[in-house]
A and B are shown apart, each in its own frame.
Chain A
Amino acid sequence: KVGQPSIALLAEAPTLPLIWELLEDVPGKQQSKPRVLGHPLRYMLELYQRSADMHGHPRENRTIGATMVRLVRPLANVAKPLRGPWYIQTLDFALRPNRALYQLVRATVVYRHQLHLNRYHLSCHVEPWVQKNPTNHFSPSGRASSKPSLLSKAWTEMDITQHIQQRLWKHKGRRILRLQFMCQQQKGTEVVLRHWHGTASLDIAFLLLYFNDTHKTVHKAKLLPRGMEEFTGRGSSLLLRRAR
């Protein structure tokens, strides 16, 4: 096994949570490296640089508010036919199964609110897709807001935590978040439909899921039953003095 520095070898230690996690999350070495380019990668690199130094030490003053952030790209973009002045795309995002150790603290969708197709300009926004039902309302937790430090001018971030938590998070099995990306042509221009269909290959939106790791608190609770902390807190110094 010497000369095979691979996490596959570490699978022999299945009790280690880190190893399980790596085995689950990591693409196999034989598998080609997933291609992630463009704005999603730039966004996450900037988020990383703001949250950790070049050696990977988390910054003291980081404002990320979570210990894990997952950027999810849409499974496929489907450009729909023109509906009046609206150009609409359906975006599906696959959400992984819930894991008890991670608590979802925030979910946002980052999208382009301005699209330039050749010389045509479109203004866009995103709406969660909800089944036609009079009781269904979408109310985003906050208004769409652009954050100049992480996003370029054409991108906007919208909080959809409430929507995900209420409608999707507790579902078991495969969960798909469906969003509608809706664009309107600016006055005096008319986008050629083939240009609109061409946007299906562009990065126009991605999902950000913020989690906190509850492992530490669970671990501590398991190690120290109720009352034990007090015992160890007071007792240990006494015992130390006696031993010395």
Chain B
Amino acid sequence: QAGSIRSEVPGPSRERDKPESSQCSLHPFQVSFHQLGWDHWIIAPHLYTPNYCKGTCPRVLRYGLNSPNHAIIQNLVNELVDQRVPQPSCVPYKYVPISILLIEANGSILYKEYEDMIAQSCTCR
């Protein structure tokens, strides 16, 4: 019953004021291992694309955002009960791993797949 909730909540709609681009979404971002100060031991890859999530979470959390039940409740509490309880935050939802080739301190060479290194999608929670 999202529509009826919206009509009952007093005050201007935060969603309506925000342009589409400021809503919670994935932003591509690339950094080099040189910038992170790790290029003295990482052989490959040279560039890393961690990406990031940024934007406002909508008042009504739609299915596509994959928000958990708790986020839905917290949003309702923020809107209807107590505004000191913050709205859910825009954070990564799915990650993918990255494979890294590096030189260890003793001269061994290591190939390793590190989990959860690249944000692939975002959620409000």
Contacts and interface: CB of A to CB of B under 8 A. Distances in A.
A201 to B, nearest CB: 15
A36 B73 contact: no
A68 B101 CA distance: 10
How large, as a class, is the contact surface on chain B? 35 or more
A68 B115 contact: no
Contacts of A18: 114
A137 to B, nearest CB: 29
Given A26-B105, A34-B106, A58-B99, A69 B111 contact: yes
A54 B30 CA distance: 13
B21 interface: no
A188 B1 CA distance: 92
B29 interface: no
Contact of A73 (B49, B97, B108): B108
Nearest to B100: A56
Contacts of B103: 27, 33-34, 36
Interface stretch (B8-16, B35-43, B79-87): B35-43
A72 B113 CA distance: 18
A136 B48 CA distance: 49
A20 B105 CA distance: 14
B65 interface: no
A57 interface: yes
Contacts of B37: 4-7, 29
Given A5-B37, A33-B41, A52 B112 contact: no
A83 B32 CA distance: 53
Contacts of B7: none
B40 A27 contact: yes
B62 to A, nearest CB: 10
A27 B36 contact: no
B119 interface: no
Nearest to B105: A27
A45 B101 contact: yes
B102 interface: yes
B99 A56 contact: yes
A55 B96 CA distance: 12
Contacts of A40: 109
Nearest to A102: B112
A36 B109 contact: yes
Contacts of A44: 43, 101, 109, 111
Interface in A25-48: 25-29, 31, 33-36, 40-41, 44-45, 47-48
A58 B44 CA distance: 12
A31 B41 CA distance: 11
Task: Report the 10 A-B pairs with minimum CB-CB distance, sorted nearest first.
Answer: A52-B99, A56-B45, A27-B105, A5-B37, A34-B107, A71-B109, A56-B98, A69-B111, A67-B113, A44-B109
Interface of A: 4-7, 18, 25-29, 31, 33-36, 40-41, 44-45, 47-48, 51-52, 54-58, 64, 67-73, 94, 213, 215-216, 236, 239-240, 243-244
